[in-house]
Amino acid sequence: MENSESILNALKEIFNVDLSKYWNEAEEINNGIKRVLGNSFRYALSETKRYVLYSIIKYYNPDIVIETGVGPGVSSTIILSALERGTLHSIDVRETLENGKQVGFLVPEQLKSKWKLYIGRSRDILLDLLKKLGKVDIFLHDSEHTFENVTFELNIAWDYLRNGGILLIDNLDFTEAPYYFTKQKGVKLYELTNEAGGLGIIIKS
């Protein structure tokens, strides 16, 4: 895990608030995830990113969060644990994972009342979902990290992102798409961590 002080300083610079008070809560949830996962699903959201994601969700207290890419459900569990009033809408192309378990199997039963899972490609689901919801407060891209798919997801989500809303991009360095997107939109891309492909954040003003 990366140095937490540098990450927290970066978050404070972005949001102008100290998010360290959420770190202990995130640690407890992360420990629970590690007990279940062990060394499996190494592609799942890395530990530093879990702390960052939890802190942002907790601070923002959003109504609507959308994520693409679920896998075992690490990011889903983090988001749902931090949500107080909102709903998480998750999209994944698979129903069953390589270990035979259902996608999102990590998500605790008590959190599922605020979770909606959609099976299919984001290209087939995302636009209709956004039209139905009307807006999104936080969008997390963590599905297929090709230039075409990242570009598609960021552009579609941006159109429905409320002012002050957040785009989060996992595996930021896997494609140049986020950099082209921010240049096109004239917005700033913050790189929160270099761990495991990086995590980027864009705020819509």
Domain boundaries, the chain: 4-203
pLDDT of residue 42: 79
Entry pTM: 0.96
- What is the fold of 4-203? Rossmann fold (3.40.50)
Quote the pLDDT of residue 38: 83
- Regions of the chain short of the pLDDT cut 70: 1-2
21-67, pLDDT tens digit by residue?
Answer: 999 999 999 999 999 988 788 788 999 999 999 999 999 999 999 99
What pLDDT does residue 25 have? Answer: 95
**HEC sequence for the chain:** CCCHHHHHHHHHHHHCCCCHHHHHHHHHHHHHHHHHHCCCCCCCCCHHHHHHHHHHHHHHCCCEEEEECCCCCHHHHHHHHHCCCCEEEEEECCCECCCCCECCCCCCHHHHHHEEEEECCHHHHHHHHHHHHCCEEEEEECCCCCHHHHHHHHHHHHHHEEEEEEEEEECHHHCCHHHHHHHHHCCCCEEEECHHHCEEEEECC
For residue 169, the model assigns a pLDDT of: 98
Looking at residue 1, its pLDDT comes to 61
pLDDT at 163: 97
pLDDT given at position 11? 94
